[in-house]
Amino acid sequence: MMRRTLLPLSLTLLLSACVTNPYTNRSQLMLVDEAEETQMGVEGYAQVMAEEPINTDADLNAPLLRVGRAIAAAADKWRAEKGDEPYDWEFKLIASDETVNAWCMPGGKIAFYTGIYPILEDEAGMAIVMGHEVSHAMLRHGGERMSQNIAVGVGMSAAGILAKDSEYRDMALAALGAGVSVGLLLPYSRDHESEADFLGLQLAARAGYDPREGIRIWENMSKLGGTPPEWLSTHPNPATRIQQMQEWMPEMLTTYRRSQKMPNAPLPNALGRGPKAQKKAPKVSRQAPHEQAAGRAVATAQRR
């Protein structure tokens, strides 16, 4: 009912609510402003971290902070070039050996899971995945997904969206990137993934990590079974992503050669070491009920 009456109105709104992303020059539907999106990221991150077991092992956190600070510096420098404020960065390691994942919420709020360490193998591998996740935030993919949901009237409002009792809280967190922590599968679109791959490799190269590590990481990931992690969504498929990375590699290597190189050390064994590693993270199994409808409606609106 609401959806039927709201849609014609929102078409006018959609046309006046598109912004051009400075990093891609792609036009994005944006019904939340960046300050709001950042605030939601900050609150959402605090909520997730209050619920998840945090691994504070110094050996395991040292590489996360080292890589994190290098990627953060490269991202903030790039943001400054575009007139954007630096992020207020945070890096947390969640003790969950079963979860092969990582994410970054708007505002530079980053989570890695202990289960991803064996796939990353070393700090350069960690830099590739962190660059990818930070890119989703810089490219405002979370705000774009929330805007798509708001546009089709699925009940999200920008204000108070993370209220404790809100039935939309989990969907908002999922839209902002923390889906694996709330058990709500909300994959990014193919365009979002390609953009994050491209900007992520650039970030890693600018930060002083060899972008060729991206290809190794993707080959590792393509051998994984089970639920695909965020950065191994089914679209584009791993072969396509590796092929794209190979095409981009000359440009990435030019950036890398100009950068101040970071040391690359193997990551320590993270499994079975967390003080609370026995607590399992929720399985990502629930489908977002509105996601497909939201995608279709917005695609239709944008074609007009």
In the chain, DSSP assigns E strands to: 18-20, 27-29, 90-94, 102-105, 109-113, 184-185, 286-287
β-pair partners for 111: 92, 103
Report the candidate in 87, 74, 68, 69 with the shortest Cα–Cα distance to residue 256. 74
Q: How far is CA 281 from CA 48, 64, 274, in A?
A: 11, 20, 13
Q: How far is the CB of 7 from Zn ion (least distance, A)?
A: 29
Q: How many residues bind Zn ion (CB under 5 A)?
A: 2
Supply the minimum distance, in Å, between the C-beta of residue 129 and Zn ion.
9
The pair of three-digit structure tokens given for residue 278, joined into one six-digit string: 């026995």
For Zn ion, the binding residue among 174, 196, 207, 270 (CB under 5 A) is 196
Closer of 14 and 172 to Zn ion (Cβ): 172
Least CB distance to Zn ion at residue 241 (A):
10
> Scanning the structure block, which residue is given the tokens 């110094």?
58
Q: Which residues from 229-288 bind Zn ion, rule CB under 5 A?
A: 231
Between 14 and 102, whose beta carbon lies closer to Zn ion? 102
Decide if residue 176 touches Zn ion (CB under 5 A): no
- CB of residue 196 to Zn ion, shortest distance in Å: 5
E strands in 154-204: 184-185
Any idea which residue has 């400075």 for tokens? Answer: 22
**Minimum gap (Å) between residue 12 Cβ and Zn ion:** 32
In the complex with Zn ion, which residue's Cβ is closer, 153 or 228? 228
Using CB under 5 A as the binding rule, the residues of this chain from 64 to 103 that contact Zn ion are none
Whether 139 and 195 have beta carbons less than 8 Å apart is answered as: yes
Judged by beta carbon, residue 42 or residue 139, the one nearer Zn ion is 139
- Tell me, yes or no, if 219 is annotated catalytic: no
Q: Which stretch binds Zn ion (CB under 5 A): 27-35, 72-80, 196-204, 291-299?
A: 196-204
CA distance 106 to 30: 14
Q: What's the closest the beta carbon of residue 46 comes to Zn ion, in angstroms?
A: 23
Q: Interface with Zn ion by CB under 5 A: which range of 21-29, 154-162, 195-203, 237-245?
A: 195-203
Residue from 52, 133, 193, 230 carrying the catalytic annotation: 133
Can you tell me the distance from the alpha carbon of 24 to that of 234, in angstroms, rounded to the nearest whole number?
22
216 CB burial (10 A radius; 0-12, 13-18, 19+): middle
Contact segment (CB under 5 A) with Zn ion among 16-24, 67-75, 93-101, 224-232 equals 224-232
In the bound state with Zn ion, the residue whose beta carbon lies nearer, of 113 and 231, is 231
CA 48 to chain centre: 15
Nearer to Zn ion, 14 or 288 (CB): 288
Instruction: List active site positions.
Output: 133
Query: Which residues of this protein are in contact with Zn ion, per CB under 5 A?
Result: 196, 231
